[in-house]
Amino acid sequence: MRQYIVKALLQFIPVMFLITLIVFSLMHVTGDPVSLMLSDTATDEDREILTKALGLDQPMHIQYLKFMGNLLQGDFGTSFRYNQPALPIVLERLPASFELAIAAMLVATVISIPLGIWSATKRNSILDVFVTGGAVLGKAMPSFWLGIMLILLFAVKWKTLPVSGHGSFKHLILPAITLGTGIAAEMTRLIRSSLLEILGQDYIRTARSKGLMEMLVIYKHAFRNSLIPVVTIMALQTSVLIGGTLITETIFSWPGMGQLIIQAVNTRDMAIVQAAVFVIALLVIISNLLADLLYRFLDPRIKYN
């Protein structure tokens, strides 16, 4: 186990290094960072000064080393919009996004686990077709569309929930459903197929042939074992979940990182974008790592080499 953790951490370093490479090329190779950072009223002189100040007149590899050096010191550049270091601005928004993401995950779990089990146990029944169809619909609906519809129905028409903003539990419901639906759809499908796989395995068939009650079989053997892959499935949705906050937060004016990123992209505040990409990548990697650990812990069949 310890050996595995050490190995995982060792893999983590090259991945983060590659992410710095990706971000660096996004910012420096594909575009002209100077014109992205300059204000509307800047002159040619300003341009030259900034180019020098950013060290962009130097060869690419030197630039990259400097970029890395700054990152290692936690310096992700200065947001020109806020005139402050980018990293704290991004981190400040993290709790609100977390809140939304966890709520959305809960929504997704509550919907997908029963539906997934239900449709797997009644494979090819009308119910299965409905659940599968519903899952596809949930996946096919662009989330901005769903969000706008939910506001129109629940807030404007029925006046049961607040439209937007952040604060009370009630404010959390619509954004969480908007963000959770797509993930619920994906998870339902995955849970269904992982359960089907388990139901097809020998020990379940043995249990069935012994005449155990169907519900008991499903509960005692299949469901518990299918929980193991569910943990992995949930962790793998982290990236989708964070990606989804970009849109959900914009619709519900949720003051999280997603909205910050959209605004930073629109105003070309690349320091913020850069810092946010790193923070997100780190979160995704850590959550995948944790899921992997948990998975190995739960399922002793997996060896640690």
Partner 1 sequence: MKRLASIGLAVFLALSGLLAGCTSSSAPQTTTEQPPAQTGGDTASSGEKVLTIASGNDIESFDIHNHNNTSTEAVHVNMFNYLVKKDRSQQIQPDLAVSWENTDPTTWRFKLREGVKFHNGDPFTAADVKFTLERAARDNTLLEYGNYKQIKEVKIIDDHTVDIITDGPQPVMLNRLSRLGSGMLPSKYIKEKGWDEFLNHPVGTGPYKFSEWKKADRLILVKNDDYFGDKPKWDKLIFRAIPEDSTRVAELLTGGVDLAVNIPPTDMQRIDDNQGTHTATGPTQRVMQLTLRMTAGTATADPKVREAIELSIDKQAIVDNLLGGGGTITRTRVTPGNFGADPDLYGKQLYDPERAKQLLAEAGHPGGLEITMSSPSGRYLKDKETAELIAAMLGEVGIKVKLEFLEWSKFNEKYKGKTFGEVFMIAYANSMFDASLAFDRIYSERAKGETDYNNPEVDKLLDEAETNMNPDERAEQYQKVQRIVAEDRPVIYLFQTNANFGVSDRINFEPRLDEMLFADEITLK
Partner 2 sequence: MSASLETPAASVPMQQTNRRAGKLRRGVRSLLKSKTGTLGLLIIVAITFMAVFAGQLAPQDPAKQNVAQRLKPPMWLEGGKPDFPLGTDNLGRDILSRIIYGSQVSLLVGICSVIIAGLIGVFLGLVSGYFGGWIDMVIMRIVDAFLAIPNILFTLVILSVLGPGLVTLILVLGITNWTNYARIVRGEVLSIKERDFVRAARSVGARDARIIFTHILPNVVSSFIVISTLSVATTIILEASLSFLGLGIQPPTVSWGGMLSDGRDYVATSWWIATFPGLAITLTVLGIIFLGDWLRDVLDPRMKQNGK
Residues that bind partner 2 (CB under 8 A): 11, 14-16, 18-19, 21-22, 26-27, 30-31, 36, 129, 132-133, 136-137, 139-145, 148-149, 152, 156, 193, 196-197, 199-200, 239-240, 242-244, 246-247, 250, 261-262, 265-266, 268, 273, 276-277, 280-282, 284-285
DSSP string, 201-218: SHHHHHHHHTT--HHHHI
Residue with tokens 């759809």: 185
Fill in the DSSP letter of residue 302: S
The 257-286 site mask, x for binding partner 1 (CB under 8 A), equals --xx-xx--x-x------------------
**Minimal distance in Å, beta carbon 7 to partner 1?**
21
Question: How many residues touch partner 1 (CB under 8 A)?
Answer: 56
Nearer to partner 2 (CB atom), residue 11 or residue 70: 11
Measure Cα distances from 51 to 102, 166, 202 in Å. Answer: 42, 40, 67
Nearer to partner 2 (CB atom), residue 3 or residue 266: 266
Measure Cα distances from 82 to 2, 87, 207, 247, 264 in Å. Answer: 43, 12, 64, 22, 10
Nearer to partner 2 (CB atom), residue 140 or residue 169: 140
DSSP string, 73-124: TT---EETTTTEEHHHHHHHHHHHHHHHHHHHHHHHHHHHHHHHHHHHHTTT
Tokens of 67: 């970029």
Question: Any contact of residue 297 with partner 1 (CB under 8 A)?
Answer: yes
Question: Any contact of residue 35 with partner 1 (CB under 8 A)?
Answer: yes
Query: Residue 189's closest CA among 126, 237, 225?
Result: 237
Nearer to partner 1 (CB atom), residue 74 or residue 165: 165
Residue 98 partner contact from partner 1, partner 2, none using kind-dependent CB cut-offs of 5 to 8 Å: partner 1
The 133-152 site mask, x for binding partner 1 (CB under 8 A), equals ---------------x--xx
Measure Cα distances from 263 to 202, 226, 260 in Å. Answer: 54, 41, 5
State the DSSP H helix or E strand holding residue 134, giving kind and residue range, or none if neither. helix 126-140
Summarize as ranges the residues that interact with partner 1 (CB under 8 A): 35-36, 39-42, 81-83, 92-93, 95, 98-99, 102, 105-106, 148, 151-152, 155-156, 159, 161-168, 170-171, 220, 224-225, 227-228, 231, 250-253, 255-256, 259-260, 262-263, 266, 268, 294, 297-300
